[in-house]
Amino acid sequence: MEPLEETANTILAEDDPWPALEESGLALAGVPEEAGGSGGDLADAAVLLRAAGRHAAAVPLAETGWLAGRLLAESGLTVPSGPLTAASGDVRAVRDGDGWILDGTLRRVPWARSAHRLAVLTTTPAGGLVALVDPSRLQVEEGANVAGEPRDDVVLAGVRAEAAAPCPVDAAELRRRGALARAVQLTGAMRGALDLAVRYAGEREQFGRPIGRFQAVQQALAELAGEVTVADVAVRAAVRAPDDPVAVAAAKANASRAAGRVAAIAHQVHGAIGVTGEHVLGRVTARLWAWRDEYGNEAEWADTLGALAASASDPWALITGS
């Protein structure tokens, strides 16, 4: 195993991995060091996200580095310490002296209530703008996804940004980045579900032998492994081409599609034990059910790809990228 992957899996298997992520700097992997991050590229950041998914870690890792950290760094702002999140939405920014006043509402902002700072992406007549605000001073209406992760609505009523800068990233690009992050997390969680199902099939005995000895169970596990492997390699390819709209859309659509099948098979293999609240499988599958719909599910990304295909002269060129 590569050292980073090993470290990531060790830290993210802990009950509360966040302090170790911050201390080691890994919370800001993929964010340039000069902006306050810990350096490394997107593939390194993906190693961490994958491990977080695999261990169903309840941490705002994608939000802190992959989304907010990179956004701030690309806009020339210093990345604050602590958990961060990023969002765009129906927010208006108005000049006030040398600062900006923000008004509007952001829906289903991941981890807003526990984020140290929120990076708000908006547009002004002069172009894109990213503004930093402290969510503890805002009106936050708490919501959650199926896995119990915070997805809060945030109201900005004439709030003054702590810092702001023109931003080269637009809302569509932020959404694409979110989709790729969730796709990586999905593949981690899918691998977690596969590991659990394979282990359980080897341990659980019925009719005098481990259930994994039955062909019906073996065939189901093989399908599970197939979906996990294909989703994983597709997402890895997209991480290498994060600016390719076809790659990201295809990888997220496929991962979202696979997530449902993976969760269903993993539960079927586990039987009733898997549907109890304290079993670890539920923490993994709840994330599969949540993340497959976040930043666009398979239907939404299929629409994007369908539109791209319809405007291309040859759908095959879209598949090969040339």
Q: Which residues bind other proteins (CB under 8 A)?
A: 1, 5, 191, 194-195, 198, 201-202, 210, 212-213, 215, 217-219, 221-223, 225-227, 229-234, 236-237, 240, 246-247, 249-251, 253-254, 257, 298-299, 301-310, 314-316, 318-320, 322
Alpha carbon distance 68, 121 (integer Å) = 10
Distance separating alpha carbons of residues 33 and 31, to the nearest angstrom: 6
CB of 153 to other proteins, least distance (A): 29
Question: Which is nearest to 111 in space by CA: 53, 72, 55, 59?
Answer: 59
CB atoms within 10 A of CB 272: 8
Residue 149 token pair: 């992760």
Q: Which residue number, 101 or 318, has a Cβ lying nearer to other proteins?
A: 318
Closest CA to 104 of 161, 175, 177: 161
CB closer to other proteins, 160 vs 204: 204
43 or 171: whose CB is closer to other proteins?
Answer: 43
**Nearer of residues 116 and 204 to other proteins, judged by Cβ:** 204
* Shortest Cβ 197–other proteins spacing (Å): 9
**Nearest distance from C-beta of residue 187 to other proteins, angstroms:** 10
Which residue, 125 or 321, is less far from other proteins as judged by CB? 321
Closest contact distance (angstroms) between CB of 61 and other proteins is: 20
Residue 73 beta carbon to other proteins: minimum distance, rounded to whole angstroms:
26
CA proximity to 73, closest of 146, 169, 175: 169
- Strands 151-160 and 117-124, by their bridges, are unpaired
**Cα–Cα distance between 202 and 312 in angstroms, integer?**
49
Q: In Å, what is the CA distance from 154 to each residue of 79, 94, 121? A: 21, 18, 13
What is d(CA 126, CA 152) in angstroms, rounded to the nearest whole number? 29
- Between 277 and 313, CB nearer to other proteins: 313
* Structure tokens given for 181: 């992050």
13 vs 307, which CB is nearer to other proteins? 307
| Residue 110, number of CB atoms within 10 A of its CB | 23
Nearer of residues 142 and 303 to other proteins, judged by Cβ:
303
Question: Smallest gap, in angstroms, from Cβ of residue 241 to other proteins?
Answer: 9
In the complex, minimum distance from the CB of residue 201 to other proteins, in angstroms, rounded to a whole number: 5
CA 102 → CA 26, 51, 66, 80, 179, distances in Å? Answer: 31, 36, 24, 20, 26
CB of 296 to other proteins, least distance (A): 11
CA dist 37 and 26 (Å) reads 9
